[in-house]
Structure 1
């Protein structure tokens, strides 16, 4: 396993991280024995960074990881998150503190190495409805009783060492505003072989749902690290997916993504040549692509099984994808994944 420094901090983490989200399902729906086996092996393989959130199984992933790590007597670098919902808008700072304290209880820790805001920043003061929390207005980050105030309270109390937030695309302006505060050390970014825009300007001809705005380079220049989530594009950048095989029983089903899933599956087939040329799996090629960017600190694996963990950790230390293959990949983007 190779390791990378988190921005301008003193933290160093494994370039393959352990994601605890619901898409892979292990830390939400797996048994204790399954979780223990995979986490123990991950630690043996050199993984030192674990990414969690209260939203993963309504706290279950945090509770389960806390239980497993206590059994293993292990203390890796730990990241979790806070979600701000409509009910929290009257006291955002207080909610950030209370939510983090609940996370620490579930994880059985006295502090987090990194705490991230699960809402991505957008212009103005964005309204929230019900359980929706994907975005939050930049004004709600910055206001006197807002997100930044809550994070400062936690930093001063020693309950978190560093802070971060999620980037969801079409948001580079608000992201720059947050990075200029100097408060943030790690962002989470969705950067894939199907949408390279977080790592470069959008290739001419490529149409994407969300433009990443070259955020990986922006963050690196600001001394901020970047963790990549959904490296496999919600699980579609795998050989099994392209071939139409069923997912692991713990994983979220392909059908949950509807027509969008069908399109992702088609696009994945158009970039599979990269894996074949390199003699590796499509999932390994997806991680190799991500880790080839100098702005990436760690690529988060969502592991449903021991076999998936073993497969993806082999990518650490591989050379970057050769330029000639990247040129062919760019041609696919410029042609917007057209078959031809």
Structure 2
């Protein structure tokens, strides 16, 4: 696929232009299964060769592994690539046997400490530059702040850190031109509505909450993004695998109601001879707030499969049929109108 084949969209009101398809690096860091380092690096290389210009990493992914592996490639090919990583977790060395539970296979010998303070954000940013081995990060997200990760009481304390210090650090970095955009990367849209009360943001990375299967973030979140001129990157477009033939939804076994809805979605797609994963991959970009869809392939071959789905021409009538069968939330924007 040539670079010209991938359209680009603007990130908020910044000068950044990202390809509509990006590369998420969580899977490459070994979440749920081992990924050899050479395979991970080859996947990043292949993404760039195919014209993808947006790569997303985080300190949490493999406890530094994703940043190291992505950096191995990006150090040689930094020009023209939009790179994002995250703050909110600092990494500390682990000596001896690791005791904290985690989902990573072969992580680096570090553990995470949550820190959303001014100093924590600044240190996290500097640490990421060193792990990546680059001198420029374009987008900085606040990672996994919210009730789903921390619970109610702990999140109140961590939100206080962000609101009284961390947000200031992000603004200073952006205002100084050190980074180009700031946002949050989370799995729950509700916390993003609270973020709007802190001030302006450029882009949010929202995983799993605006997909072909679920549009819970449609209103008020996405409608507010339009008003506030903030863009959205959609992570987890396959809802943890259920939309590509898997059995997992939101990182757990899918309930029967979800399985039933997936069957109904697939039946409509079959009527138009469109694979369900292709529709799932392309659906989020029907919303004007969305600038990028961010899947996480584990190999060049998996990326090629994603690119094959990406290239499938989906007729507007498929979206209309999904809306007519009430498989999309009311008001969901689709080509030719709204559900």
In the superposition, the TM-score normalised over structure 2's length comes to 0.75
Which segment is superposed worse, 189-198 or 110-119? 189-198
- Residue aligning to 1:338: none
Contact preservation (8 Å) 1:126, 1:136 = no
- Is 1:165 the counterpart of 2:184? The answer is yes
3-state SS of 1:298 partner: strand
CA contact (8 A) 1:126 1:137 kept: no
Alignment root-mean-square deviation, CA: 3.3
- Of 291, 304, 307, which aligns to 1:310? 304
**Structure 1 residue 59 corresponds to structure 2 residue 57:** no
> In 2, Cα distance between the equivalents of 1:327 and 1:164?
31
Following superposition, the deviation at residue 305 of structure 1 comes to 2.6
Tell me what 1:97 maps to.
122
Q: Describe the superposition over 1:100-122 as per-residue Cα deviations: whole angstroms up to 9, x where unpaired.
A: 11111111111210000013457
| TM-score, with length taken from structure 1 | 0.75
Q: What do the CA deviations read for 1:31-79 (whole angstroms, capped 9, x no partner)?
A: 2331233222211221111111111111111111001223556651000
Q: 1:312 to 1:173 in 2, by over 3 A?
A: same
Where relative contact order (Cα < 8 A, 6+ residues apart) is larger, the structure is 1
User: Among residues 13, 22, 25, which one is paired with 2:18 in the alignment?
Assistant: 13
The counterpart of 1:217, out of the listed 207, 212, 223, is: 223
Counterpart-to-counterpart distance in 2, 1:17 and 1:293 = 17
Of 320, 325, 334, the match for 1:324 = 320
Distance in 2 separating the partners of 1:319 and 1:5? 23
- Equivalent residue runs for 1:1-340 within 5 Å: 1-22=6-27, 25=30, 29-72=34-77, 76-84=81-89, 92-120=117-145, 127-128=153-154, 138-143=159-164, 146-156=165-175, 158-167=177-186, 168-171=188-191, 173-178=193-198, 181-182=199-200, 184-190=201-207, 191-199=210-218, 213-238=219-244, 240-241=245-246, 254=248, 257-260=251-254, 264-314=258-308, 315=310, 318=313, 321-322=316-317, 323-331=319-327
SS at match of 2:283: helix
Q: 1:298 to 1:56 in 2, by over 3 A?
A: same
Deviations 1:5-52 (A, max 9, x none): 111111100000101114884899422331233222211221111111
Q: Please tell me whether the aligned partners of residues 275 and 285 of structure 1 are also in contact (alpha carbons under 8 angstroms).
A: yes
Q: Secondary structure at the match of 1:79?
A: strand
Aligned pair in 2 of structure 1 residues 257, 43: CA closer, same or farther (>3 Å)? closer
Would the alpha carbon gap of residues 226 and 318 (structure 1) be closer, same or farther in structure 2, given more than 3 Å must change? Answer: farther
Contact 1:121 1:136 in 2 (8 A): no
**Equivalent position SS for 1:303:** coil
* Deviation sequence 1:161-203 (CA, Å, 0-9, x none): 221113413335413313xx22x1110123112211222xxxx
Partners of 1:307 and 1:329 lie apart in 2 by 34
Q: Structure 2, unaligned stretches of length 5 or more?
A: 1-5, 91-111, 331-339
Q: How many residues are treated as equivalent by the alignment?
A: 296
